[in-house]
C-alpha cells in the first residue's frame, strides 16, 4: 500500500512549492490542539498556526460541535435573495467589535477575495458619487493576496513577477522603516494632495509575508488621519492581524482613527473553514444604495456566507472573546519577550521583533535578507527534524502559534531556535 506522501506526489500540485526542488509533502492524518500528526505517528508542534489561520488549536471540540450541528441543519444556501441565521448572527456580533464605525458585512471566500471586494467597493464608491478618484496607494513590500487585484496592491516580487505587466497601476509609498517614518508619511501626503486617491490599503502594524516587518501604531494613526484629511478611503487588511494576533482584538484597535473598510479571513473561522469578510461603513454602503441598478456592487461567490463557515466563525468568536484567550495571548507575548531579550545580542541574530503573539527573528546567514535565502530549506528541515512546523520566510524565522500553546511547548521551540543559531 502506497503512503499518503507517495500518492500525493502522483496527483497533487502544491501552493508556493517548486515541485521539482521540494517534491515531498508530509502526510497529515489528524490534528489535536497545537499538534499535527503524520501518517507515521510523528507529532509536530504547529508553530505557525497552519498559515496563520488557527487560533484555538486543531479540531477544537467547541468549533467541531457547532459545525457538526450546522451541517445537519443547513449546509449551504444561495445568498442573493435569501439569508440565514448564522450569517446574520455573525454580522450582528462582529460589527460592534470591529475597528471604526462598521455598519455592513460583505461575505466572500478568503483573504484575497476580501481584498478584491474592498478594492472594487472603493473604486466604484467614487464612480457612484460621480467623482474621478481612481488612484490606489499601498505600502512597498505589502502582501494582500494572489488574485489579480490583490496582487496589484501587493509589492512586486517573485510572487507577482510573471504577471507584473498585467497588474493595474498602484502607487507605493516607502515602508515606514525606523528613522524613515516621516519620509513615508510625506510621500503619502504629497500623493493625497492631488485629490485623486480613491483608497489607501495597508496591513496594520505588521507586514506578514514581507518578513513580519513591524511599525508603530503612531504611524498607522497618521496614515489614516492623512487619508481622512484628504478624503481618501482607508482599507485595513486585517486578514493576518485580526482576532488577537497582535495582542488586541484587531491591530487597528491601537489607534483612534477608524478605517472605512476592514478585510478579514484566516482566524475568522478559527482556521476551520475558508471564509472572507469585507466590513464597511454606512457611508460606503450608502453610495451603492440607489434606484440606479448600475450603482450595484455586482460581486459574489457561489459559497458566499456559507452557513457552516459562519457557524465555525461564531464558535471561534466565542473562544476568542473569552477572557482566557486574551490571558493566553498576553502570556505568549511575555514568553516571547523573555526569550528575545536573551537572544537579541547574539551575533547571528540581525533583528528580533515582537508584536503580540508574533515573534520574528532575522538571522544572519552571511547573505542578505531575502525570501529566496539559500539557508531556508536547511532551517525548515532543522525544525521538522525536531517535530516543529516552523516555515521561515527566507532567513526570517517567526512564531505565530495557536493561542493554546503551553509555556513548555514554547520553551521547547525557543531552545530549538537557540540550537539552530548556535549551529549556523
Ligand X SMILES: Cc1ncc(COP(=O)(O)O)c(C=O)c1O
Residue 116 · residue 237 · CB < 8 Å: no
Q: Is 314 in the site for ligand X (CB under 6 A)?
A: no
d(CA 42, CA 325): 28
Least Å distance, CB 194 to ligand X, is 27
Determine, following the binding rule CB under 6 A, whether residue 259 of this chain makes contact with ligand X. Answer: no
Annotated catalytic residue 215: no
Which of 240, 255, 363, 420 binds ligand X (CB under 6 A)? It is 240
CB of 169 to ligand X, least distance (A): 20
Is 44 an annotated catalytic residue?
no
Can residue 402 be called a binding residue for ligand X (CB under 6 A)?
no
Query: Which is catalytic among the residues 35, 143, 215, 414?
Result: 143
Smaller CB distance to ligand X: residue 203 or 260?
203
To the query of whether residue 180 is one of the catalytic residues in this protein, the response is: no
Q: Which of 57, 141, 145, 259 binds ligand X (CB under 6 A)?
A: 145
- Answer yes or no whether residue 155 interacts with ligand X by CB under 6 A: no
Comparing every residue's Cβ against ligand X, the nearest one is: 111
d(CA 59, CA 68): 12
Of 16, 292, 385, 408, the active-site residue reads: 16
Cα separation, 77 vs 299, whole angstroms:
17
The verdict on 115 binding ligand X (CB under 6 A) reads yes
Using the minimum distance from each CB to ligand X, give the nearer residue, 146 or 351. Answer: 146
297, 294, 259, 124: which is closest to 198 by C-alpha? Answer: 124
Q: How far apart are CA 75 and CA 72, in angstroms?
A: 7
* C-alpha closest to that of 244 among 236, 235, 255, 254: 254
Query: Site map for ligand X, 182-221, x if CB under 6 A?
Result: ---------------------x----xx------------
Active site residue 266: yes
**Closest CB to ligand X among 173 and 240?**
240
Residue among 306, 321, 314, 309 nearest 243 (CA): 321
Q: Is 265 in the site for ligand X (CB under 6 A)?
A: yes
The stretch near ligand X (CB under 6 A) out of 30-38, 119-127, 140-148, 192-200 is 140-148
* CA neighbor of 340 nearest in space, from 328, 330, 353: 353
Contacts of 113 (CB under 8 A, 6+ apart): 145, 147, 276, 301
Beta bridge partners of residue 172, listed in sequence order: 138
Of 406, 408, 315, 399, the closest CA to residue 60 belongs to 315
Strand partners, 107: 277
Q: Identify which of 76, 156, 152, 159 has the alpha carbon closest to the alpha carbon of residue 118.
A: 152
Gap between the Cα atoms of 238 and 203, Å rounded: 6
**Is position 112 an interface residue for ligand X (rule: CB under 6 A)?**
yes
Piece of the chain touching ligand X by CB under 6 A; list 186-194, 236-244, 294-302, 416-424: 236-244
Q: Are 332 and 405 in contact (CB under 8 A)?
A: yes
- Quote the least distance from Cβ 144 to ligand X, whole Å: 5
Q: Would you name the residues annotated as active-site residues?
A: 16, 143, 237, 266
Q: Report the interface residues with ligand X, using CB under 6 A.
A: 110-112, 115, 143-145, 203, 208-209, 237, 239-240, 265
Amino acid at each position: 500500500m502506497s503512503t499518503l506522501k507517495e500518492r500525493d506526489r502522483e496527483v497533487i500540485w502544491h501552493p508556493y512549492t517548486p515541485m521539482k526542488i521540494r517534491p515531498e509533502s508530509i502526510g497529515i492524518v489528524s490534528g489535536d490542539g497545537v499538534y499535527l500528526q503524520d501518517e507515521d505517528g510523528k507529532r509536530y508542534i504547529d508553530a505557525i498556526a497552519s498559515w496563520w489561520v488557527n487560533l484555538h488549536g486543531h479540531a477544537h471540540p467547541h468549533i467541531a460541535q457547532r459545525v457538526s450541528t450546522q451541517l445537519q441543519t443547513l449546509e449551504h444556501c444561495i445568498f442573493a435573495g435569501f439569508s440565514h441565521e448564522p450569517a446574520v448572527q455573525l454580522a450582528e456580533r462582529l460589527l460592534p467589535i470591529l475597528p471604526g464605525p462598521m455598519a455592513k458585512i460583505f461575505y466572500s471566500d478568503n483573504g484575497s477575495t476580501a481584498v478584491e471586494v474592498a478594492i472594487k467597493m472603493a473604486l466604484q464608491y467614487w464612480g457612484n458619487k460621480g467623482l474621478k478618484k481612481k488612484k490606489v496607494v499601498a505600502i512597498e513590500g505589502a502582501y494582500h493576496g494572489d488574485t489579480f487585484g490583490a496582487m496589484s496592491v501587493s509589492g512586486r516580487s517573485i510572487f507577482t513577477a510573471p504577471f507584473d505587466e498585467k497588474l493595474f497601476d498602484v502607487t507605493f509609498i516607502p515602508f515606514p522603516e525606523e528613522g524613515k517614518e516621516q519620509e513615508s508619511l510625506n510621500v503619502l501626503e504629497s500623493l493625497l494632495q492631488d485629490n485623486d486617491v480613491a483608497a489607501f490599503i495597508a496591513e496594520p502594524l505588521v507586514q506578514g509575508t514581507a518578513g513580519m516587518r513591524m511599525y508603530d501604531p503612531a504611524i498607522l494613526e497618521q496614515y489614516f488621519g492623512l487619508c481622512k484629511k484628504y478624503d481618501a478611503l482607508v482599507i485595513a487588511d486585517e486578514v493576518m492581524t485580526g482576532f488577537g494576533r497582535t495582542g488586541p482584538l484587531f491591530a487597528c484597535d491601537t489607534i483612534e482613527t477608524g478605517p472605512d473598510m476592514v478585510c478579514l479571513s484566516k482566524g475568522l473561522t478559527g482556521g476551520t473553514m475558508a471564509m472572507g469578510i469585507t466590513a464597511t461603513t454606512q457611508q460606503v454602503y450608502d453610495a451603492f444604495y440607489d434606484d440606479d441598478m448600475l450603482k450595484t456592487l455586482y460581486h459574489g461567490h457561489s459559497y458566499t456566507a456559507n452557513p457552516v463557515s459562519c457557524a465555525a466563525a461564531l464558535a471561534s468568536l466565542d473562544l476568542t472573546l473569552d477572557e482566557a484567550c486574551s490571558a493566553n495571548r498576553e502570556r505568549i507575548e511575555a514568553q516571547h519577550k523573555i526569550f528575545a531579550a536573551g537572544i537579541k545580542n547574539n551575533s547571528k541574530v540581525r533583528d528580533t521583533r515582537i508584536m503580540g503573539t508574533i515573534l520574528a527573528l532575522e538571522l544572519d546567514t552571511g547573505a542578505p535578507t531575502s525570501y529566496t535565502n539559500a539557508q531556508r530549506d536547511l532551517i525548515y528541515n532543522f525544525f521538522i527534524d525536531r517535530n516543529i512546523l516552523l516555515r521561515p520566510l527566507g532567513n526570517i524565522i517567526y512564531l505565530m502559534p495557536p493561542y493554546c500553546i503551553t509555556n513548555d511547548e514554547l520553551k521547547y521551540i525557543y531552545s530549538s531556535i537557540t540550537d539552530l543559531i548556535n549551529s549556523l
